[in-house]
Amino acid sequence: MPYRLMEVVGRPCDTALTVARMIYAGTFDRHPELQVVTVHTGGAVPSLVGRLDFGWRLNFRGVVDRHEVEPYEQHNELEPSTYLRRNVWADTMGLCGRCVRDAIEVYGIDHIVFGTDYGPVPISPREHIDMVLGLGLSSEDEDKILWRNADRLLKLGLEPTPDKRSSADR
């Protein structure tokens, strides 16, 4: 408890275990339209994507023909990285620009949504906004992260507000 390791290490690892289990168990094959939003820039998943794909290639038991898997065993048909780009989203709550960049690389810019722990954690949302604006992305990609992706995912039907300032002035 004095180091808050369950919060700073445990939660990102829990996220990675949950996402890996959903993928390997074939959840996204059975429910291809399912969209899952992960928190804290996807937890440890961006650091493990290569290992997840490698585990898939090994078929969990060594190199075997994937078609020889017992019919009662649930498994995924595609490489895990494919599901990450198709079915999984990440937020920007991680307080780390490099982590957001890693999440963009793994999930794709269209699957990153703005996130903050403001409320329970007294960190100003402005810090998170500034982090996104400091990534050096195009204005279009900044808007995707700050609101457009969430609007599309949640089907909110939001309209852009007139904004005469450049992204550097926000």
| pLDDT tens string 54-78 | 988 887 554 445 556 555 466 788 9
d(CA 47, CA 55): 14
**Can you tell me the mean pLDDT for 20-35?**
92
pLDDT range class, residue 22, cuts 50, 70, 90: very high
Superfamily designation of domain 5-169: Metal-dependent hydrolases (3.20.20.140)
Average pLDDT over residues 94-122: 91
